[in-house]
Amino acid sequence: MKVDALVRALPRSDDEIRRRIPRPLRDIPLGSPFGQRYVPPIDDVHPRAGGYDDPGRAGEVLFDQLGADLAIVIPPNRQLRTDRRHEVAVMRATNEWLAETWLAGSRFRGSIQLSPRDVAASLAEIERWSAHPAFVQVAVPLHVHAPYGEQEYFPLWEAAAGHGLPVAVHGDGSGGAELTPAMAGEPTRFIEYHTLFPLNAIVHLVSVVSEGVFDRLPELVFVFTDGAAGVIPPFLWREDAKARALKEEMPWVRERPTWYLRQVRFVARRDDFPREPEHLETVRALAGDGRSLLYGSNFPMWDLVDFASEPWPPASAFDDDFFGGNAVATYPRLRAG
Amino acid sequence: MREERPIRVIDCDVHFKPVAAEAVTEHLPEPWRSRRNLHRALTKAPVYNPYTGAMRLDAKPAEGPTGSDPVLAGRQLFVEAGVDLAINIPVGEHFCPLLDPDLNAAYSAAVNEWQAATWLGAFNRHGRYRGSISVAVNNVPAAVREVERWAGDPRFVQVLVPHHAGAPYGSPQFDPLWEAACRAGLPVALHSNVGAETYHTPVGVLQRYPEYNGIGHPLFVAHHLVSLLTSGAFERFPALRFVFVEAGFSIYAPLVSRLDRNWEKLGGEVPHLRARPSSQLRDHVRFSSQPVDEPEAFADLARIWAWGDAEHLLLFSSDYPHWDFDDPSRAISPRFGDALRQRVMRDNARDLYGFPARRPADEYDA
């Protein structure tokens, strides 16, 4: 079975979301789902992805042309909203919209969008949708006010793990009050932004490991959808050395930090595939011999992973586990049929 | 003729301290010297620190702070560790960047005069120490003057900038500083510092030293590196060299590979870039070695070092006298082979800084 683990479900217009939001919050504009501060110098949408906002036409590309059997969709998170009530309203409306549109067919699987600034409302959202068989993960934004190891979030991870839902961490800058996404100040160009923002996954990962979240929830899985699959594992080596030397500071962490990569997956993105075959092999080797890598097209965006029309890398560089087996192993609900 | 010794080990990152704050501030002119609370800003306790402190316990002299005693430092570096040359990088307590751009410029000048008088002067009769020109990156015109002031002094071998400058270093506001460094023939070394920076990451605040220390500084360096590569700084200044100190090495090859791949699609945004970003690394960028990563499998480190061209881009550093000091005899695994080890321990630094092949024999050789 071939699973596309990253498809962006985009509404045809914001009215599809806003009409599901009660007044007066309905009147607040949501902003471009493609982001507003960092805009690419090329079309946001890939030339192959015409009709991307129609689930039927998207399915023709994803299933008929790109050959997926199932596709996991993530809606734009529109976070961070400065108004918390609005953020929660957008979250609820987005999940309703996703369930009624993209998840109405048989081959799309969905993400329960959460608003981590409101844990109680997000927990209610997990309970509301967890019985819906097409939701296979929860989704939280990459950019948030505090890293995901913090105690305040723990009930979310406990609920997600309890329902067999991996946690997708997804950065999309989709129209909210975007936080400064890189360490040394504002990135000045899109290429700088796009290359750097996925590195923030290491902060969440180190936080989750260091606060003992993976120790407390050994069945929990985090899926980082923004790639940097070749950067994050060697980044974590630095933590191994610190954690061993300074064990008394975090005695509750039972294993070396890199041990917990078995509870982590990366959607491999177009920029994660080096041009040189030997370096491509290194990325694969460091990602748990490929077991941590999930295939995801990132349809319909400009950096679509397009093995059919791009010359590199060839699909033959990857095995069935990459294209589906790893996803089936990661998502309990894909195994339930 | 004086007896000579071959230079085998060049240590690109050591940290010396004044005996007391006044040893530096005596070089600071008025009205700054008498400014109230100056010492408090300069002795800011690090926000992240190991519970047991950040220093080697055996490097504490009988009197004065760790790193302030030239006799102990000389014995530990030159005799016990076998270092031939060591580059001082003034960061941390007494060397914090200051937010006031005028005070910061004046204090940076005092730091350089203190280095020239002590570790590059009275403590340096053997000539094994080199220094770094501390500059105020929040006051670029003054920083340029400071580089020019020391440019002819061979004891200063690089320009030192902190990791936090409010903007990534590819931004045009820093161009005059890079131009001055190039005119002086000096590389620019970036080392983390405490004081003027913030501690939140783009996704919030981490809790403890082992978490922040491993990733905070490399996240800054990743940003500066990508900014320098995409802004075309190395094309505007073909002589510009950057040394990223104590920021790790393993993540940068896969990071810049991602930048290459994005450049294929997004190159129209940076039409000044004539070649793919990774092609600039070998001519313009170096990394210091400490702390060497320790993955479970040596093969993983070997793969990443091969990808990152450690043989040409990596410079040995010990980080003396900090707790996680890397001993030159063990830091670079013998499994990397003699050719790579010799380049990392000596040749790469010699090529970058123009150091000689030999040095005069001195009392530490006895």
Residues of chain A where predicted confidence (pLDDT) is lower than 70: 337
Q: What is the pLDDT of residue A337?
A: 55
- Mark out the alpha helices in A225-325 (DSSP H runs): 232-245, 277-286, 320
Does the pLDDT of residue B197 top 70, yes or no? no
Contact B215 A235 (CB under 8 A): yes
- Which chain B residue is nearest to residue A39, measuring alpha carbons? B269
- Please state the ipTM of this predicted complex: 0.97
Q: Sort out which chain A residues have CB atoms less than 8 A from B208's CB and list them.
A: 210, 249-250
CB atoms within 10 A of CB B11: 30
Nearest to B48 by CA among B159, B199, B170: B199
Q: Sort out which chain A residues have CB atoms less than 8 A from B233's CB and list them.
A: none
Residue A314: exposed, middle, or buried by beta-carbon count in 10 A (0-12, 13-18, 19+)?
exposed
Question: With an 8 Å Cβ cutoff, is A179 touching chain B?
Answer: yes
- Which chain B residue is nearest to residue A142, measuring alpha carbons? B203
Arithmetic mean of pLDDT over chain B: 95
Q: What is the pLDDT of residue B64?
A: 93
Compute the distance between CA of residue B150 and CA of residue B142 in angstroms, rounded to an integer. 13
Tens digits of residue pLDDT in B308-334: 999 999 999 999 999 899 999 999 999
Across the interface, which of A42, A181, A230 has its CB nearest the CB of B268?
A: A42
Compute the distance between CA of residue B234 and CA of residue B283 in angstroms, rounded to an integer. 9
Does the pLDDT of residue B196 top 60, yes or no? no
Distance from the A248 Cα atom to the nearest Cα atom in chain B, whole angstroms: 9
Does the pLDDT of residue B301 top 80, yes or no? yes
Contact A191 B260 (CB under 8 A): no
Identify the residue among A77, A190, A199 best suited for mutation to test binding to B, counting B beta carbons within 10 A and taking the highest.
A199
Indicate the class that CATH gives domain A3-335: alpha beta
Q: What is the mean pLDDT of residues B38-66?
A: 86
Contact B50 A190 (CB under 8 A): no
The answer to whether the CB of A141 falls within 8 A of the CB of A172 is yes
The answer to whether the CB of B55 falls within 8 A of the CB of B66 is yes
Distance (Å) of CA A191 to CA A31, A92, B143, B230, B263:
21, 33, 29, 8, 7
SS3 track for chain B: CCCEEECCCEEEEECCCCCCCHHHHCCCCCCCCCCCCHHHHHCCCCCCCCCCCCECHHHCCCCCCCCCCHHHHHHHHHHHCCCCEEEECCCCCCCCCCCCHHHHHHHHHHHHHHHHHHHHHHCCCCCCEEEEEECCCCCHHHHHHHHHHHCCCCCEEEEEECCCCCCCCCCHHHHHHHHHHHHHCCCEEECCCCCCCCCCECCECCCCHHHHHHHHHHHHHHHHHHHHHHHCHHHHCCCCCEEECCCCCCCHHHHHHHHHHHHHHHHHHCCCCCCCHHHHHHHHEEEECCCCCCCCCHHHHHHHHHHCCHHHHEECCCCCCECCCCCCCCCCCHHHCHHHHHHHHHHHHHHHHCCCCEEECCHHHC
Q: What is the pLDDT of residue B70?
A: 97
- Which chain B residue is nearest to residue A235, measuring alpha carbons? B251
Confidence of residue B1 (pLDDT cuts 50, 70, 90): low
Q: What is the pLDDT of residue B47?
A: 82
The answer to whether the CB of B87 falls within 8 A of the CB of B12 is yes
Across the interface, which of B167, B213, B262 has its CB nearest the CB of A242?
A: B213
Domain boundaries, chain B: 4-365
Across the interface, which of B201, B294, B301 has its CB nearest the CB of A183?
A: B201
Distance from the A66 Cα atom to the nearest Cα atom in chain B, whole angstroms: 21
Tens digits of residue pLDDT in B148-157: 999 999 999 9
Distance from the B176 Cα atom to the nearest Cα atom in chain A, whole angstroms: 19
Q: What is the pLDDT of residue B69?
A: 97
CATH number, domain B4-365 = 3.20.20.140
In chain B, what percentage of residues exceed pLDDT 90?
87
CB atoms within 10 A of CB A319: 12
Contact B168 A234 (CB under 8 A): no
Across the interface, which of A42, A241, A246 has its CB nearest the CB of B50?
A: A246
Pairing of strands B4-6, B358-360: antiparallel
Tens digits of residue pLDDT in B174-191: 999 999 999 999 999 999
Confidence of residue B195 (pLDDT cuts 50, 70, 90): low
